[in-house]
A and B are shown apart, each in its own frame.
Chain A
Amino acid sequence: MEKITDLAFLQKFSGGDKARLKKYVDMYLQTAGVQMQQVEQSVADKNWTQLKTAAHTLKSQVGYMGMNTTQELLKSVEEHAMNQTGLEHVDAKVVQLKAMIAQSEIELRSFLAEN
């Protein structure tokens, strides 16, 4: 399976400081899953304001992990929620997102274990 994460930016940002890089990755691992649950819950509750906020927060975090496709998908979910249009596409997009976040967690946990 092709890798979904790319830590090139964070590696440059951390200036070669591995502990700093691992701190950011660890912060992502602590919050991304929770944020994803909030995205799912908001869809289940049809709470579009909450969905917009949850997608918005997760969007920045996946960006720093180099997950550009996931970021685009979150941007589109945020827009569906904000404009309350195309909501029929949200369910399928959230399923895709959930799989992407789960894959990123596997990749990043493995990165932490190796470094």
Chain B
Amino acid sequence: MAKNTLIFVVDDDLMQQDMLKDHLSAMSNFTIKTFSTGEECLEQLSQNPDVVFLDYHLSSQNANAMDGLDILREIKAKNPLTEVVMLSGQDKIEVAVDTMKYGAFDYIVKGESAFYRAEKAVYNLYKMAKLKRDAGMYKTFTITFGLAFLLMIILVVVLKSKGLISDRAGWF
């Protein structure tokens, strides 16, 4: 994740939206933007949020509003690197499986423990981003070391073919 983490919170329940925003703000110096509809979130997707906390049911204010699953699909299609954490009032395994199938990073059931779970999800995302960075670093190191070794072998072969070095050590 980027150093200045941008988080979107999308929920039509303003109290839930505000509570999550307050809780995440207390965690770290995140930039947090809130939206009451998924459509508003999609319009701002060019800002490349690192994480989107997305409500599964987004039709309490407007029956025609796109629901969370549709928004999740759009986010993953447009910004595959943005991680989406789904929020729902339903503790149903099939709903959770559905959201994971479309690329959600986590599924959180709303309630008192939801805020702790959200905090944990952000922590896990940081951990995952660090692992990815470390894996990239090791890959670069392995390639660099491999190339250096290969160059050394080529150099030895060239020098040997020109008679500049021999197999016998000089002190014998």
Which chain A residues have a beta carbon within 8 Å of chain B's beta carbons?
Answer: 9, 13, 15, 20, 23-24, 27-28, 31, 49-50, 53-54, 56-57, 59-61, 63-64
Contact = CB atoms under 8 A, between A and B. Distances in A.
A27 B14 contact: yes
13 contacts: A13-B19, A13-B115, A27-B18, A49-B63, A50-B63, A53-B57, A53-B60, A56-B57, A57-B57, A60-B89, A60-B110, A60-B111, A61-B15
Given A9-B112, A53-B57, A56-B57, A64 B15 contact: yes
Contacts of A50: 63
Nearest to B87: A60
Nearest to A71: B111
Given A31-B14, A31-B15, A56 B89 contact: yes
> Chain A binding site: helix, strand, loop or mixed by DSSP?
helix
A28 B15 contact: yes
A73 B90 CA distance: 15
Contacts, number: 47
B18 A23 contact: yes
Given A27-B14, A53-B57, A60-B110, 7 more contacts: A13-B112, A13-B115, A23-B18, A24-B18, A50-B63, A57-B57, A64-B112
Nearest to A12: B112
A53 B56 CA distance: 12
Nearest to B110: A60
A63 B113 CA distance: 11
Contact of A60 (B16, B22, B26): B16
A49 B112 CA distance: 26
